[in-house]
Amino acid sequence: MRRIGILALLFFALATAGVLGQDIALPREMPSFNQAYTDGPNAWGNCALGTGGCPDKIWTTGCLVTAFAAVLSYHGIEVDVPAASSCTGRARSGMDPGILNDWLRATGGYGRCSRDPAGECCLAWEQLPADVELTFHSNRSGIGLNPVASVVIDHALRQGNPVVAGVHWSTYCAGQGDQSEDCHWVILTEKVDDTYAIVDPYNPDSTSPYGVRTTLEAGVHGNYIIDRFVVVSLVPVAHVPVAVETPDDHTSMAEAAERASLVVLFGVLALVAALVVLVTAVRTAP
């Protein structure tokens, strides 16, 4: 009986770690937006991204904002933009990359990053709508997902929480000089066999407002490797805000991701160690 109980515990642990290969999907379809949508009604691609003289446009560097617009829409979050702050010159409400970008520009949602040639071009994570909570993680592998990152992502998807991931492809990022990480941002929406379905916010069809639904291995730019990722969940209704440290640039996000991933890693290692002890006890029991 004791042996059966331990085997059941082992099976449960393996299932929790996501090693049984079962498919995992969000409970509803992820909305899809194209950062390069420049030709059509309310097109946002040519809208200025960032503040303080940032030279960027949504279609050139707005993949992260576009991805978050889709995730916020998925969670049912909308914002209001007055005409004076709108790229279209009209007051707008709802959620799409243009509306979110205008709202961020009006509410201090962009900050200066080390790679910015001018102005504030980087998303200030803590300035996203207060309805969502972000948890930051890193992937400790240059060739694919390590087991710890996979466990975290699978758990998030099971809980109905999308994952926004910074990726690179090949040995460099196209058009990004010597940048080798977080060259592009995509949304993980589903695990199918040994890969993940994604919404890629870059669609070269400038007449389409929709991103591309594909997989990590078949991204628009190539075979994507995850560098860092952010789990985006809704704040509980009864949640009382507390002061938290949030990353405001590439370096601080890496530090936050490092700490979060270490916590998960130690938890997995502790589970494995406990299982080894239990299995050993069974083998040596009279």
Query: Which string of DSSP letters, residue by residue, matches 191-219?
Result: EETTEEEEEES--S-TT----EEEEGGG-
Residues pairing with 134 in the sheet: 232
- Rg (the chain; Cα; Å): 21
Q: Are 31 and 176 in contact (CB under 8 A)?
A: no
| CA torsion through residues 78, 202, 91, 87, sign | positive
In degrees, rounded to 5, the angle at the alpha carbon of residue 184 between the alpha carbons of residues 264 and 198 is 70
Q: Are 254 and 225 in contact (CB under 8 A)?
A: no
Average pLDDT over residues 58-72: 97
Say what the pLDDT of residue 277 is: 43
Say what the pLDDT of residue 136 is: 97
Distance CA 217, CA 191 (A): 12
| CA torsion through residues 224, 74, 49, 252, sign | negative
Q: How confident is the model at residue 13 (pLDDT cuts 50, 70, 90)?
A: very low
Domain edges within the chain: 29-237+248-284
Say what the pLDDT of residue 269 is: 55
Say what the pLDDT of residue 173 is: 73
Residue 248 pLDDT > 60, yes or no? no
Q: What is the pLDDT of residues 166-208, one digit of tens each?
A: 999 987 675 555 556 788 999 999 999 889 999 999 999 999 9
User: Structure pTM?
Assistant: 0.77
Share of the chain above pLDDT 70, in %: 73
DSSP symbol at 127? G
Distance CA 51, CA 63 (A): 17
Say what the pLDDT of residue 194 is: 87
Distance CA 162, CA 190 (A): 9
Say what the pLDDT of residue 193 is: 87
Higher pLDDT, 92 or 174: 92
The 3-class SS string of 80-115 reads: EECHHHCCCCCCEEECCHHHHHHHHHHCCCEECCCC
Residue 14 pLDDT > 70, yes or no? no
